[in-house]
């Protein structure tokens, strides 16, 4: 069975008696995550599909997967590093998005360990990204481990080590959340607080201009809890912006508070903590009639993504925190998802 998992897309389960998570080795993808509401009623709160086939067929707009080698956009698919120019696939014209045509989300990861239930169930994946894959320099060894650390808490640890050459690395977990249930409609009535007082404004192609803009007095201000739909009409198609996670708050396990998402009817709350500098707040603006689990139809704003990350296009912006990882050094990105009701 272990050998087979190296080349066959499958779905694995984690269950600690309170929450149940299903994760595929295809893209290290969360396909289902069920947590209780205020009455103890379970609902699946992530967008996705019932089987691996639609993911493999490319029907998912990055539902639940880990994206890389570099998440988000790289302007015109070009960058230079150590005096050498690199050209990447333009898979979201005119830019390169989420690692290119066949990023980490479209690879079968090897299962390095799996404990389905009991105390602290986990699944560990590993992937070897070859030198030159999707145009990126150097080979990289990548691991991603999902652990149910308590009754209603999940931790994701992503690590990557460039083996022989410096390379940009910025991974992101691209789950679309709907705390009312994946099939409940849109997330415009969800409330969110984001521990970021600046965004990196973007051009017409959603690439940061290089500016760092205070959110105060703009529709991007979620420093106090606010309904997602309150000012969404003022930002074009919806939110698809990188927040600088710069608001101090009490740390948890050495991680900083990134966001608090809540749904009124179910009273479900998701608190997210991380150790990276940015978070893409994306309101599912391009989701359009995707037929998902149980034949639910996902439309625009059916879910919200909270993608902690390095800043988009940081490789081309010297004033952004660097995403370059030197050969032999370790990239470490942790996300802690705390659910309550």
Neighbours of 33 (CB within 10 A): 24
Least Cα distance to 100 among 168, 183, 178, 43 occurs for 168
Q: How many residues does the chain have?
A: 341
Q: Compute the half-sphere exposure of residue 85: CA atoms within 13 Å on the CB side of its CA.
A: 4
- Phi, psi for residue 232 in degrees, rounded to 5: -65, -25
Q: Based on the number of CB atoms within 10 Å of its own CB, is 216 exposed (0-12), middle (13-18) or buried (19 or more)?
A: exposed
Contact 233, 223 (CB under 8 A): no
- List, in sequence order, every residue forming a beta bridge with 126; answer none if it has no partner: 110, 143
For the question of residue 174 being annotated catalytic, the response is yes
- List, in sequence order, every residue forming a beta bridge with 306; answer none if it has no partner: 281
Q: Which of 174, 190, 198, 301 is catalytic?
A: 174
Is 240 annotated to bind a ligand? Reply is yes
Q: Based on the number of CB atoms within 10 Å of its own CB, is 32 exposed (0-12), middle (13-18) or buried (19 or more)?
A: buried
Is 175 annotated to bind a ligand? Reply is yes
For the question of residue 114 being annotated catalytic, the response is no
Is 73 annotated to bind a ligand? Reply is yes
- Element of type H or E holding 53: helix 53-56
Contact 292, 283 (CB under 8 A): no
User: Diameter of the chain by CA atoms?
Assistant: 59
Is 72 annotated to bind a ligand? Reply is yes
Instruction: Give the Cα separation of 283 and 206 in Å (integer).
Output: 14
Cα-based distances in Å from 271 to 80, 201, 237: 37, 25, 25
Q: Which of 198, 241, 257, 307 is catalytic?
A: 307
Torsion of CA 221, 226, 229, 233, to 10 degrees: -30
Contact 138, 165 (CB under 8 A): yes
Q: Where is the binding site for beta-D-galactose, in residues? A: 72-73, 174-176, 240
Please identify every residue annotated as catalytic.
Answer: 174, 307
Residues annotated within a binding site: 72-73, 174-176, 240
């Amino acid at each position: 069975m272990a050998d087979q998992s190296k080349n066959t897309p499958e779905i694995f389960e984690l269950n600690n008696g309170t929450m149940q998570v299903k994760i595929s080795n295809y893209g290290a993808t969360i396909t289902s995550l069920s947590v209780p509401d205020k009455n103890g009623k379970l609902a699946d709160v992530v967008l996705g599909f019932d089987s691996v086939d639609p993911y493999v067929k490319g029907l998912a707009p990055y539902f639940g997967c880990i994206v890389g080698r570099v998440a988000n956009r790289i302007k015109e698919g070009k960058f230079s590093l150590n005096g050498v120019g690199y050209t990447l696939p333009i898979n979201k014209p005119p830019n390169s998005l989420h690692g290119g045509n066949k990023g980490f989300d479209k690879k079968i990861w090897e299962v390095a360990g799996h404990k389905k239930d009991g105390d602290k169930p986990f699944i560990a994946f590993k992937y070897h990204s070859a030198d030159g894959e999707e145009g990126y320099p150097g080979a990289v060894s990548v691991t991603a481990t999902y652990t149910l650390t308590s009754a209603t808490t999940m931790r994701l640890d992503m690590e990557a080590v460039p083996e022989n050459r410096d390379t940009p690395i910025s991974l992101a977990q691209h789950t679309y959340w709907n705390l009312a249930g994946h099939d409940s409609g849109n997330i415009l009535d969800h409330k969110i607080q984001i521990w970021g007082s600046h965004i990196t404004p973007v051009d017409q192609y959603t690439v940061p201009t290089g500016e760092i803009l205070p959110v105060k007095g703009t529709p991007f201000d979620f420093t106090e809890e606010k309904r997602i739909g309150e000012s969404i009409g003022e930002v074009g198609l919806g939110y698809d912006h990188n927040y600088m996670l710069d608001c101090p708050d009490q740390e948890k396990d050495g991680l900083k508070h990134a966001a608090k998402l809540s749904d009124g009817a179910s009273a479900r709350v998701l608190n997210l903590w991380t150790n990276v500098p940015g978070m893409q707040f994306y309101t599912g603006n391009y989701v359009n009639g995707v037929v998902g689990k149980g034949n639910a139809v996902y439309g625009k704003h059916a879910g919200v993504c909270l993608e902690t990350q390095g800043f988009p296009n940081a490789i081309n912006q010297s004033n952004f925190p660097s995403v370059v990882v030197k050969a032999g050094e370790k990239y470490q990105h942790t996300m802690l998802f705390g659910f309550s009701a």
